[in-house]
Chains A and B, each alone.
Chain A
């Protein structure tokens, strides 16, 4: 357990001292700052573009601002996360750094889980920072902004991304090449999308259902108690994915 803490400290130090510190939190913060402003300016921008045709656009609200923010996070933010994390194990294995660490009294589970924990921490801080900025500008630019709706949506976004992060870690432990790990991550994400179609139970509780709850949350719509079931199933999925990552990596030759 002590070496898990030491590896985690090393991972955090690595994040603080490499480009990773700027990419994920930087990009997330950028979305937090720009999404409300762009949403506010969108009718004016579109209006100036269509000119005299005279299309009338509905007035944007805080819900649109949140929607834009979470859409950006879920697309480009996720892409940045995949690109910066897919090589976390694969690259160290390929370069031989893992050999140096794992010939010391370090259990392989600690090595894998420290990477997950550090990236999850980075993700949580990035999302919190970005949401803080998004809420601040949304509240200034739009009336009646509901803080709690955005906070709930951020929590759901984080849970969904924690599942994706576990997929990335599993993919990275499966492969020795960063590119292959990226490919396997995409394959894993496709499988997560397919999962709900396999049975009614999975349709209701698979992590993919978090997307629907995210929309409901930031819209301020009531959320039914089935969310807890989805959250529990997502946590089980994370545990299974990380268990698989540890199992796969423990059997890998270095």
Chain B
């Protein structure tokens, strides 16, 4: 497998605090890699080190097969968490400026600029960037990150400050560009990761807790679980469930009971009988899929 990002023992210390600690990361070409972590986990510091904006305290970096240098800047794109531009420029002017810095020939640049403005829904916008909304700036940031047709795009929390519509638009655009290049996408919004990523790295307190495909994570850490809703007091039923050998964890959640199990079939067979023995009415019994959030919280806490 070819990797576009490889780090070994990558570390960054700020005084006594290790923002990133001995990070070993491998991002396969063509993937949409979700770089997950709670706030302050070291995601932005890692991205800045990969881009050469921050110097590592220790460790090595290889981007697109090259050791850390400015040589690969021609082949990558970057969208910061809060993209800021020259407010006196118009969006298409900034794209032209960005394209010129990559020495893209004028004819080709014009075509790419028009394509990207269409892709990000900014075509025909004549307002100066100073008058752009947050979502428009994010979309322009995305467009400028793609102007050089990069092989690898870094996106730092691209959706965290957007409203639901803005988020949906940006995620759709990411899905589209993922067909052309590798996307390295840092976030703490797990639903975004589930929506667009095929692989994740989970970072906590500067350390990589896990690196896996989304499917692999579910397979390794997903639990079989059921949710029950009954008519009446669920207390005695919960007490009864705890005694069952197939029950792993039983938890009251408002009016329902959440139960993780070792044997789903046995649980589905026994529960209606148990409900009936407790003189309760069974309103709902449904299997619950373990969410990425559950896995994330468990991994980060452990």
A interface residues with partner B (beta carbon < 8 Å) = 2-3, 6, 10, 14, 17-18, 95-97, 99-107, 253-254
Q: How close is A76's CB to chain B, nearest CB, in angstroms?
A: 26
Interface contact B97-A14, CB-CB below 8 Å: no
Residue on A nearest B94 in the bound complex, by CB: A100
Interface contact B54-A253, CB-CB below 8 Å: yes
For A99, list chain B residues within 8 Å (CB). Answer: 53, 78, 80
Interface contact B88-A18, CB-CB below 8 Å: yes
For B78, list chain A residues within 8 Å (CB). Answer: 99-100, 103
C-alpha spacing A219/B44, complex, angstroms? 60
Interface contact A10-B85, CB-CB below 8 Å: no
Interface contact B80-A100, CB-CB below 8 Å: yes
C-alpha spacing A99/B148, complex, angstroms? 16
The count of residues in chain B whose C-beta lies closer than 8 Å to any C-beta of chain A is 27
For A106, list chain B residues within 8 Å (CB). Answer: 101
The 3 closest A-B CB pairs, nearest first, are A104-B101, A103-B78, A254-B53
Our count of residue pairs bridging A and B at CB distance below 8 angstroms stands at 57
For A101, list chain B residues within 8 Å (CB). Answer: 101
For A95, list chain B residues within 8 Å (CB). Answer: 84
For A105, list chain B residues within 8 Å (CB). Answer: 70, 73-74, 101-102
C-alpha spacing A34/B100, complex, angstroms? 43
10 A–B contact pairs at CB < 8 A? A3-B101, A6-B101, A14-B88, A99-B78, A99-B80, A100-B80, A100-B85, A100-B141, A104-B101, A253-B55
Contact with A along B125-155 (1 / 0, CB 8 A): 0000000000000000100100010000000
C-alpha spacing A145/B103, complex, angstroms? 52
| Max count, chain B CB within 10 A of own CB: residue among A99, A103, A107 | A103
Interface contact A96-B103, CB-CB below 8 Å: no
Interface contact A97-B54, CB-CB below 8 Å: no
